[in-house]
Amino acid sequence: MDSKLRRMAILSSVAAILLVALLVVYSNRDLADAGKTAVNSQQATTVNREDGENLTENVGESQKSGQIGEDLSAFLRDSTFFDPEENPILQAAKDAAEQLSLVVTSVEKDLRVQIVDRSGEPVAGESFFVKLQGLGEYKDLDKDGVIYIGDLPAGEYYVELLPISGYSVPKNETRVRVKDKVEYVAIEDISLLVKTEEEIDAEAEDTAVADALSDADKTEIQKLQTTTANSKVGIDVSKWNGEIDWDKVKNAGVEYAIIRAGYRGSVTGSLVEDPYFAANMKGTASSGIPVGIYFFTQAVNEVEAVEEASVVLSLIREYKIDYPVFIDTEGAGGSGRADGLDPETRTLVCEAFCRTIENAGYKAGVYASRNWYHNNLYTERLEKYCIWLAEYRSVPLYQGYYQMWQYTSRGKIDGIAGNVDMNISYY
């Protein structure tokens, strides 16, 4: 709020108070006048008895002229009232409104410094500098309110936000411990880093490519399968499915849904919530459809995998989750930031994500195509988690162990416009 709007808001509030006060004074003027007469008479009598007539008159004059506080519009004639530099109350309010604080976290030999306002939101659009004791200054180059410092030796550090015009910065340094190894626990305040699609270039960032499509054959089943004693049929959805009538979906025979919580941008690495996540979660809950979760990864190391898991955990904390939370590891068209990972690094990413999810009390899993499991992951290290296989044929060729099978991306179901992924769960 700029100074002009602030002054108008304060003036409006004072005017309202003045109006109420005048109404009260007007309605009680007779009683107030009677009270004043009684008090003045009592004071005059007392003084007369003790000190004489002249003093009595002086007291009366003093009482008559002593009307401090009764002129409720006096502030309008005070040229300093709206000047924060001259008015300590307004200055204090201004300082509080522009007070900054730091949120500092470490995953492994790094620091992420978030500059937030009073409401806990990152402050964007400013060139903030922080000083790390003994190591120098670091700048918020992209002006997003976050400064990342990597390759730090483990140990204790002190972080200071340097003064910046227009803001009040913390007077004391923030002490933080840089971790030596990833601990696979959710990052506090990770929600500060989660963006909406309005804040990014979604067309460039959300570019997952289903590798299973290139491996499909003519035997692909495109109908919702029949439930058996050992399996259940379900779907998985994201923003690409648009608005869904979940009552119709349930009546069509769908027994569960795996919902995309979000994704990491394939270009900038931004952490983004799926724009239909909340609606899908509320819709399934209302219709009584059990749910699981997936997140499309573009993490390039374990630290980023912990970030992605932390985002999911922050998004699902208020919902009931019945099925596993999956990391969706696919390509992003060949130019994604994680497309060139070697199998060891990609496997470490999946392990870090799953360990963080399970340390928070949920069941974790990995989603990939048959070729992806064969060529880009050390699958035997992941089989302790729920393996979700994508292979579009009537009988999978995959010889590994799996608990969920996505058998088509071209399914049709009442309540959803267009194609939808269909699955069989043995979980």
Find the DSSP H helices in 154-296: 202-205, 246-251, 277-287
Check whether residue 68 and residue 124 sit in a common domain.
no
Check whether residue 152 and residue 273 sit in a common domain.
no
Low-confidence ranges of the chain (pLDDT < 70): 1-97
Check whether residue 115 and residue 208 sit in a common domain.
no
Residue 184 lies in a domain: no
Check whether residue 169 and residue 250 sit in a common domain.
no
- In this prediction, residue 390 carries a pLDDT of 98
Check whether residue 156 and residue 50 sit in a common domain.
no
Check whether residue 220 and residue 276 sit in a common domain.
yes
Give the domain CATH number at 162: 2.60.40.10
Residue 406 lies in a domain: yes
Would you say 403 and 220 are in contact if contact means Cβ atoms under 8 Å apart? no
Q: Report percent pLDDT > 70 for the chain.
A: 77
Chain Cα centroid distance, residue 145: 14
Residue 32 lies in a domain: yes
Would you say 391 and 212 are in contact if contact means Cβ atoms under 8 Å apart? yes
- In this prediction, residue 122 carries a pLDDT of 85
Residue 298 lies in a domain: yes
pTM higher than 0.85, yes or no? no
> Where a domain ends, among 153, 178, 203?
178
Check whether residue 279 and residue 420 sit in a common domain.
yes
Check whether residue 266 and residue 403 sit in a common domain.
yes
Check whether residue 200 and residue 335 sit in a common domain.
yes
Domain count, the chain: 3
Interval 70-118: pLDDT, tens: 666 665 666 665 565 566 665 565 555 589 999 998 998 999 899 999 8
Residue 130: domain span: 98-178
Interval 203-218: pLDDT, tens: 999 999 988 998 899 8
| Contacts for 426 with CB less than 8 Å, ≥ 6 apart | 230, 231, 402, 403, 404, 405
Check whether residue 290 and residue 398 sit in a common domain.
yes
Check whether residue 149 and residue 54 sit in a common domain.
no
- In this prediction, residue 323 carries a pLDDT of 98
Check whether residue 263 and residue 302 sit in a common domain.
yes
Residue 183 lies in a domain: no
> DSSP class of residue 331?
B
- In this prediction, residue 315 carries a pLDDT of 98
Residue 306 lies in a domain: yes
Residue 328 lies in a domain: yes
Residue 185 lies in a domain: no
- In this prediction, residue 44 carries a pLDDT of 39
**111 three-state secondary structure:** strand
- In this prediction, residue 211 carries a pLDDT of 87
Tell me how many degrees the CA angle 101-107-109 measures, rounded to the nearest 5.
Answer: 100
Element (H, E) at 22: helix 3-27
> Where a domain ends, among 148, 178, 208?
178
Instruction: Please report, as a single letter, which amino acid is at residue 398.
Output: Y
> Where a domain ends, among 94, 126, 149?
94
- pLDDT, the chain, mean: 85
Question: Could you give the C-alpha distances from 397 to 265, 339, 383, 386, 402, in angstroms and in order?
Answer: 31, 24, 17, 18, 12
